[in-house]
A = this chain, B = another copy of it.
């Protein structure tokens, strides 16, 4: 299964992994990105993700399509949350399965690195004394 989802609801890791892997797959690799409690020395209370929804979905589908074509992975699920994400909660889940592990590692790494470069989603960190848009440029 190849599927991309943008959702406001919490990510159900277990359900997403349950579908991964055919009998021909020797490897499943799952990456979970989570909201961290500290950023640049300050305590983060929560995150908010803003999304340009139709374009973000298109860009995600492009990335996943490229990964599937290039590394011949069998199964590729990407779920990205938007709206408020509490500390410790997953903001993104990428699950890939493939006959051999190298393809899964390459594909997952490519997907997360490219998501952070091209998918129109923006993260804002909320502190006790203010809020700041995160720039990944640094």
A→B interface (CB under 8 Å) = 13-14, 17, 21-38, 87-88, 90, 99, 101, 104-105, 108-109, 112
Query: Given the complex of chains A and B, what is the CA–CA distance between A25 and B32 in angstroms?
Result: 10
B36 and A99: CB pair below 8 A?
Answer: yes
Identical copies of this chain, number = 2
- Nearest B residue to A104, CB-CB: B31
Residue numbers in B under 8 Å from A99 (CB-CB): 36
Q: Which of B13, B38, B108 contacts A24 (CB 8 A)?
A: B38
Residue numbers in B under 8 Å from A112 (CB-CB): 101
A30 and B30: CB pair below 8 A?
Answer: yes
Residue numbers in B under 8 Å from A24 (CB-CB): 36-38
Residue numbers in B under 8 Å from A23 (CB-CB): 36-37, 87-88
- Nearest B residue to A20, CB-CB: B32
A27 and B32: CB pair below 8 A?
Answer: yes
